[in-house]
Amino acid sequence: MSSFTADALAHKVAFVAGGTSGINLGIAQRLAAHGARVVVMGRNPDKAAAAATTITAAGGQALGLAADVRDYAAMEAALQRTVDHFGPIDIVISGAAGNFVAPATGMSANAFKTVVDIDLLGTFNVFRAAHAHLKKPGASLIAISAEIADMAAWGQSHACAAKAGVDMLVRTLALELGPEGIRVNSIRPGPIENTEGMARLISPEAKRDFLKWVPLGRLGQASEVGDSAVFLCSDAARYVTGTVLSCDGGFQHRAGVIFKA
């Protein structure tokens, strides 16, 4: 019998890295709506507090924390605060990301490294620091990836490389942590409305033409990615691990070089 109900995550504790805006805030809001107590973490303390307030105003339980996923000690401290506040952790979402459009020969080595450090090293730091605080068995880890993990895209060498690493890290951790009863999966959001990523990658003027690349003919909503996360963290997905789930309106089947100027 499916356990994917309105209270599917009741009594669970969730930690959402990068959860102060955009897709990750949408995920945090959906987790809270299904009963989870949520910690939203980002680099800016004001944004973290505002995100937590948004969730509590809607009837959820939330705490905002400020930390940088590139700083392992800071992640250890944030996760310890999560446990001190809510108790052992059931759900960890690693969604912090950086991106911009630039050809490989037009960016510095430091610019490339920055995106890899936020996306890939950051995901490792979040999951590694969380491990000691997870409920075992039963914990669920989710990385937020992208279709460019295995789809080359103009001006995205840094993000393509980082997200490919994220998805392989997920598959490897699924092997290593499965015997502990910990599930590890990845979600690849497609083009999502009202996000910083879309604002950076697609101009308002190009939006209409861009939609021809999406078979469902529209941009997605952060709440729809959140629903994918709710499924993966719930008992309805209790036999799902090492999986990359696309939530993209079919975008993966049509796109490729669309970011080329």
> Residue type for 21, please?
S
Q: Which of 225, 230, 226, 231 is nearest to 246 (CA)?
A: 225
- Of 94, 163, 228, 234, which residue is the catalytic one? 163
163 included as an active-site residue: yes
Catalytic annotation, pick one of 21, 94, 140, 145? 145
Q: What is the DSSP string of the chain?
A: ----STTTTTT-EEEEETTTSHHHHHHHHHHHHTT-EEEEEES-HHHHHHHHHHHHHTT-EEEEEE--TT-HHHHHHHHHHHHHHH-SBSEEEE---------GGGS-HHHHHHHHIIIIIHHHHHHHHHGGGB-TTT-EEEEE--GGGSS--TT-HHHHHHHHHHHHHHHHHHHHHGGGT-EEEEEEE-SBTT-HHHHHHS-GGGHHHHGGGSTTSS-B-HHHHHHHHHHHHSGGGTT--S-EEEESTTGGGT-SSTT--
Hey, which residues are catalytic here?
145, 163
